[in-house]
Structure 1
Amino acid sequence: MKFTTDEYLTPYLQSFNRVKNVAHFHGCHAIPKIKNIKKITDGLMDLFFPGRDDRDQDCTLEESVKRNLDYVVEKLSKVIDLAYTFDGKTQEESEELTTIALIDFCTKLPALRRLLKKDAEAGFAGDPAAKNLHEVILCYPAIRALAIHRVAHELFKIGVPLIPRMLNEVMHSDTGIDIHPGAEIGESFFIDHGTGVVIGETTIIGNNVKLYQGVTLGALSFPKDGCGLLLRGAKRHPTIGNNVTIYANATILGDIKIGDYSIIGSSAWIKTDIEPYSRVLIPEPEIIISHRKPKSN
């Protein structure tokens, strides 16, 4: 007897919400696709750092920037429009809001690129393993993560739905660095190595800050209202001052402040404010070395 799915279809369909303007995944609206978000992240890297694309070899800087800018704007326009429609806006509202978002993006591009140049320079200045600035830009995952985050953050600030989070999740998948698009990051920021870094939504990071792999800037708890519902958007992540260094696997939780020029040692666990010019270390673990007898043949 050939197996068919007919008898299983109706029970499964009953699990769907068929309310109009709620059932976005059920044919009511198209949705932005991750594969198109991925194309945008690649296009942004070519736009911020021309010369990465083979087509750049036989053209001027102006031609390269124009081609890459047009490409990114075209792709962004489509996914932002879909995101607004998915969020319940009319087609007319979506088109108007998409235009506003694209104007905001293009207006802020010069400032974003200057920030990224400072991020790359901070990476080169702080890593003796880097041979030159080009190596940092082409090879270091932090530069890709920050390039995408800084764009996603600007879209997040003006209320573009869904796309900022999708951009950062593609970046997370590519680099192992997880930054919520709501996080505010100052200039000359760098993440060395990067794998396992988590930066939460309401984190604020000052200028000239350096993180190492495995650092978590997270929430200690989630504030709730009188009905027990989560207060979304409430400040619940750390504020990191200027000129702070946070070493590998340190965990900093809650709406606390790490003062300027502080150094947070590896694997520290912090839930309280730290005064400026502090050094926070945990005791070195006791090392036990035992000698083993060689196995006899």
Structure 2
Amino acid sequence: MENDIRKVINKAVHSVTENCKNEELFITREGRKLPSRYVIIQIIKELRRVMFPGYFGSENIKASEPEYFIGHTITKLYEALKLQVETAILYKNADNATEEEIALRAEEISCRLFEKVPYIQQMLLKDIQAGFDGDPAAKSKEEIIFSYPGLFAIYVYRVAHELYKMDVPFVPRIMTEYAHGKTGIDINAGAQIGEYFFIDHGTGIVIGETTNIGNNVKLYQGVTLGALSTRSGQLLANVKRHPTIEDNVTIYSGATILGGKTVIGADSVIGGNVFITESVPAGAKVTLKNPELDFRYE
């Protein structure tokens, strides 16, 4: 029996090794490596402590003395992010840049992201306010920061979106897929989302790459903002495939809205479980006709 197991293992090792040699996906590109998913997730976790000081760490930050903690953490995160961005660009290297050029680009990107940190924090504070204003079950804003998966997914998206806009490969998707796995909320880093965005409950929400969402929009669980068809695959890259949601729209659970030309007008209310592939005018209320209930008693 032991000899049989060794034969099976040896055969498997040989076959997998051959696959690695023959499949270009597995061939290391001139000694280059992919960015570290683990490190990128740690960056997201540590940056959240900067965005919400005192909430996700053991430090006791006094209101008058946060500079040391924030400065030390951002400095550390800058170095970690720069290395991951440099690794990602070097692996991709579509324009055959030199290592020196890539290193400079990684420095610039990392610097620009941390320049954006105050802006991202202000956007998140508005998202928290939207959550508090929009959810009567919320007992405090602190509860939203600590507990709401929707806010976590939005936080990760807002960071990843800035990197997406700077054409950083791999890293934004690693970030948003981490949030997807943690919360069940799938927000592509390419989506454009305005102020006072609130996700209630959240599980099963999908927001596609070319979605545009205005200000003060509220989504419930199971909402899909997707493409009409992806059969053309890569031919649809860089084409607007996902809908536009204008300001002050509420979309209830299970609604599906598809298509790059589909616009949901401002101040609209989209009811649960509707399926929309055409534009909806401003101020509309779209609902399924209530089914007739049939009560039977034994």
Q: Give the TM-score normalised by the residue count of structure 1.
A: 0.90
After TM superposition, the structure 1 = structure 2 runs for residues 52-201 of structure 1, keeping only pairs within 5 Å, are: 52-57=55-60, 60-88=65-93, 90-201=98-209
1:47 to partner: Cα distance: 1.1
Structure 1 unaligned residues grouped into runs of 5+: 293-297
1:242 to partner: Cα distance: 0.4
Per-residue deviation, residues 124-147 of structure 1 (Å, max 9, x unmatched): 000011111111111111111111
Asked if the contact 1:215/1:247 (under 8 Å) is kept, the reply is: yes
The counterpart of 1:258, out of the listed 237, 253, 264, is 264
1:289 to partner: Cα distance: 2.0
Distance 1:57 1:9 in 2: 52
Structure 2 unaligned residues grouped into runs of 5+: none
1:24 to partner: Cα distance: 5.0
1:113–1:229: structure 2 CA closer, same or farther, 3 Å change rule? closer
Which shifted more, 274-283 or 48-57? Answer: 48-57
Distance 1:217 1:57 in 2: 41
Amino acid at match of 1:43: E
SS of equivalent residue, structure 1 residue 41: helix
SS of equivalent residue, structure 1 residue 222: coil
Distance 1:211 1:104 in 2: 30
1:58 to partner: Cα distance: 5.5
Distance 1:195 1:239 in 2: 21
Q: Give the TM-score normalised by the residue count of structure 2.
A: 0.90
- Across the aligned residues of Structure 1 and Structure 2, the Cα RMSD in angstroms comes to 2.1
Q: Which runs of 4+ in 1 moved over 6 A?
A: none
Distance 2:112 2:210 in 1: 22
SS of equivalent residue, structure 1 residue 252: strand
Over the matched positions of the two proteins, sequence identity in percent amounts to: 40
Q: How many residues align?
A: 288
Counterpart of 1:295 in structure 2 is none
